[in-house]
Structure 1
Amino acid sequence: MADEQEASAADADDVSESEVDEADTSGIQTGDFVRLDFTARTVEDGQLVDTTDPEVAEEEGVADQDQSFEPRVIIVGDGHLFEQVESDLEGKEAGDTGSVVVPSDEAFGAHDPDDVRTISAEKIPEDDRYPGAHVDIDGEHGHVEAVIGGRARVDFNHPLAGDDIEYEYEIIEQVEDRIEKARGLFDAYLGIDLEMFIETDEVEETQLIESDDDDDEDAEPEYETVTTEKETLYVESTPELTMNQQWMFSKQQIVQDVIEHADVNRVIVREVLDGAAAGPMGGMMGGLGGELDADVEDALEDADVDADELVEELSEE
């Protein structure tokens, strides 16, 4: 009888532990992609810090900024938002809402009085010598508090230093689509929404042929060309991407992250030219098939060059 009671107690413990484990792993977890709608404001005075809501952006007068206001895709636990916010998402489901306050020390830091300094006004560009102006001095960013005579008081703290930040959010959905994951990563890194698609390509690769003859150390290595299938994410480049400094300096890291999370073998970024705008040569020579620009023709005449012969020679090459 005692043995049966001990067995029952052990079974109950197993069930209890199983229920706990299941509860710990249900809902959204670290590493999951979610589409999140949120608005962040300072707790003390309600100053807008960030939002994905176009109506909030319109009300706050920031809707005309060069950014899109729509739910954002993030990886939970990957540092896309403050840790407190991402931790609060764990265990939740699509459709759930929440509110999280991030203390100032864990948000933009405490306000340091030593970072408010008086400097020569000559260090500030003349057009920025007024209270409220944002300036860069000796590699530090700050805002001007006052300008008196030849001196200026500049606060080099973050503008939100010392402020607790409250996030109100709604989980729109958990993202499973690979392309949506990739687009979310590009947007998180670069703030750019890009067109992309996935295709399976046949790729020729050169591989070393393994030899069974381990004794022949002088044998030349032999290679063979094999055709393999690779899942390829094609990303259509834009001028905004090409000129993005983050992309210039961190493209390898970004691509590796996309390959890992979107489960593809490689990423190809390609430039798409639709031919709508003629380049310099097209404007001057009509693509080498038309008449030369009048100014160019006059210049060639002054140089004693036959324009028709030049066009014909270039067309033949």
Structure 2
Amino acid sequence: MSNDSEAESAETADSEEEEVDGLQDGDFVKIDYTARTVEDDRLVDTTDEEVAEAEDVDTEEQDFGPRTIVLGEGHIFPSVEDDITGKEVGDSGTVTVPAAEAFGEFDEDQVRTISKDKIPEDDRYPGGQVRIDGDEGFIETIIGGRARVDFNHPLAGDDVEYEYEIVEEVTDREEKASGLLDMFLGLDLEIWFETDTVEEEQLVEEDEDEEAESDDEDEEESEPEYETVEVEKESLYIEATPQLTMNQQWMMQKQQIGQQLIDFTGVDRIVIQEVIDGGGMGMGMPGMMGGGGMGGGDIEEALEDADIDAEDLAEEL
């Protein structure tokens, strides 16, 4: 091989190494960011509580701090994701996201005139948010019996300036799962991994001799046979808090969120575990039969008064 060819090969190898430097698709990263509209500097979103407070945003019911995303999964605007790819922890950047990529261009056809009777009375005022035939919009004007409603996104037509800093690369599986749940649901949930032994139905495979005998004896296709076997499954447990079970995003996208958790953590299954805490409640039923809790003797007396045989009742239960 000539020296020129060797040099070209070396340059190609160096080039390939450079292409895989830095963060890549599939990497979990924590980022801090603040996004504002370019034209009028309106705050769109931020992970900085001080920035939110300065904009008079109610911060009591929101959690602030770095957000976990997975590169290549569309968790942020594509142009921001492209800018992060190849960078390292500690790097920062500013990206202008065009309106079409952010919240869409403003569409005049999405500003429609409807009968005001379709709007609840309490919402009939300029600026009121309404939902008509499944579409959400804001009332511009109400004149007579007609209302003009803008069904565009409130930020449609606005370019967005996105400032970010890469805070950390996440490698721990539990942190990855927690980060995904926080990103999708905005909830800090208790999670843990366990290996469980579970029963599973598996197809019984016939050996070649049995298959040959079966073919000779009967040309009809036989029903496949299954057997119950015990297998080990790695499970991601998530505590089913009231906040989770009532979360609208979870109710609508449970399957998709669960699949992402499986794909990115490598577990076999997701288990949503509900914990019922007695909270100090006894087994008695206060107020039952007009009195307080009853002891064992009281129960037997009550059954006798009702002409119920305690042994027969126990057998039925």
TM-score (structure 2 length as normaliser)? 0.83
Are residues 1:156 and 2:154 paired? no
Q: 1:194 aligns with which of 175, 179, 189?
A: 189
Q: 2:283 aligns with which of 283, 287, 291?
A: 287
Q: What is the distance in 1 between the residues matched to 2:233 and 2:184?
A: 25
Cα deviation 1:146-172 (Å, max 9, x = unaligned): 223333222121110110011101111
Superposed displacement of residue 46, structure 1: 1.0
**DSSP-derived class of the 1:160 partner:** coil
Q: What is the distance in 2 between the residues matched to 1:165 and 1:109?
A: 11
Matches within 5 A, 1:1-317: 7-64=2-59, 66-212=61-207, 213=209, 214-217=211-214, 226-276=229-279, 278=281, 287-288=283-284, 292-293=286-287, 296-297=289-290, 309-310=301-302
Cα deviation 1:188-241 (Å, max 9, x = unaligned): 332322110112233344434433222132688665554433221111111121
Aligned positions, number: 296
Q: What is the distance in 2 between the residues matched to 1:271 and 1:277?
A: 18
Gaps of 5+ in 2: 292-297, 305-309
Q: Is the 8 A contact 2:25 2:71 kept in 1?
A: yes
Gaps of 5+ in 1: 1-5, 279-285, 299-305
Query: Could you tell me the percent identity over the aligned residues?
Result: 56
Q: Is the 8 A contact 1:57 1:69 kept in 2?
A: no
CA 1:66/1:277 → structure 2, altered by over 3 Å: closer, same or farther?
farther
Report the AA paired with residue 158 of structure 2: D
Q: What is the distance in 1 between the residues matched to 2:10 and 2:102?
A: 41
Q: Is the 8 A contact 1:54 1:63 kept in 2?
A: no
CA RMSD of aligned residues (A): 2.8
Cα deviation 1:73-115 (Å, max 9, x = unaligned): 1111111111111111100111111111110111111112232
**DSSP-derived class of the 2:213 partner:** coil
CA 1:71/1:270 → structure 2, altered by over 3 Å: closer, same or farther?
same
Report the AA paired with residue 7 of structure 1: S
